[in-house]
Chains A and B, each alone.
Chain A
């Protein structure tokens, strides 16, 4: 007896799991930027430049995840 049946692609669940790590990472990055801005407001520009790069690198994992969710979605 199956109490509840879910149909659909397991790739979407996998993408949800894969997005946890980048989510935490992006939160850490911008949390640190806020802290740094609070401690030294005039260094905000330099910090934001680096933060966008770090954000892009961290987000790349989530982006590869959504691509793979579509790739393996048909399996």
Chain B
């Protein structure tokens, strides 16, 4: 049995030469090694700085030229603006949405551009695939939605608002209050950040497996079957890139929608 299987499936997989992509693929060195005051500047940091500059330029150009008959560029900017304004902010927050619109647009642009760096040919690394970036964004969102709730209801009023849904009978309070506290205060920022991180991380890992594995099969093996599999893997990696563009846009949308939803639920009136 073991001899048969050993002939069918190589038990000791030959891994020398091919280094499988893993968690270590995301540990990029600093860009300028040996320069002490530039050690903080790695690829993730550079990408986020570039993304901020790009977003600033985009929205400043869009805000400056406002013609009655919009040009193509203005149409693009207005579509992006109205997408966030109407689909996300107005539908989620309601009549008081204008106060939070700058935050939502900034979050959406930042997350979207940084996600799309994962398929942009010159960068090919989504910034949120490093866990620190989603943690920072989710911490910002956590502070803001709790701050909005505390400003609206007062500290203890907000705690009661967030942990006690109206209409719960008194004997259920010992069960409901800890559950709602954990769910609304503690787990929300964790899932918000981990959702973005896990999608970007897994997507980039998938791309790495197909591209690096396909390249290795094509160029570093003798068997014709392996070479064919490598070509198929490389072609299929294009489809994975297409899937990635969809997932990255969807995650930027979901991140912004959930931010709007958290703000809306923290600022909601008592029913």
Residue among A4, A5, A52, A63 making CB contact with B194, cutoff 8 Å:
A63
In the complex, per-residue mask of A27-55: 1 if CB is within 8 Å of any chain B CB, else 0: 00000000000000000010001001101
**In the complex, B74 has a CB within 8 A of chain A:** no
Provided the pairs A5-B11, A66-B198 are in contact, do residues A53 and B261 lie with their beta carbons within 8 angstroms? Answer: yes
- Residue pairs across A and B with Cβ atoms less than 8 A apart, 28 shown, are A1-B1, A2-B2, A3-B1, A3-B2, A4-B2, A4-B11, A5-B11, A45-B91, A49-B92, A52-B254, A53-B257, A53-B258, A53-B261, A56-B195, A56-B254, A56-B257, A56-B258, A59-B195, A60-B187, A63-B191, A63-B195, A64-B191, A64-B194, A66-B194, A66-B198, A66-B202, A67-B194, A67-B198
Chain A residues whose CB sits within 8 angstroms of the CB of B258 once the complex forms: 52-53, 56
CB nearest neighbor in B for A56: B258
How far apart are the CA atoms of A70 and B257 in the complex, in Å? 27
Interface residues on B, range: 10 to 19
Kindly count the residue-residue contacts between A and B in the assembled complex, taking CB atoms under 8 Å apart: 44
**Using a CB–CB distance below 8 Å, which chain B residues touch chain A?**
1-2, 5, 9, 11, 23, 91-92, 187, 190-191, 194-195, 198, 202, 254, 257-258, 261
Chain A residues whose CB sits within 8 angstroms of the CB of B92 once the complex forms: 49
Chain A residues whose CB sits within 8 angstroms of the CB of B11 once the complex forms: 4-5
A-B contact sample (16 more), CB < 8 A, given A2-B2, A56-B257, A67-B198: A4-B2, A49-B92, A49-B257, A52-B257, A56-B195, A56-B254, A60-B195, A63-B194, A64-B190, A64-B191, A64-B194, A66-B194, A66-B198, A66-B202, A67-B194, A70-B23
Interface of B is mostly: helix
Interface of A is mostly: helix
* CB of B85, distance to nearest CB on chain A (Å): 14
How far apart are the CA atoms of A64 and B187 in the complex, in Å? 10
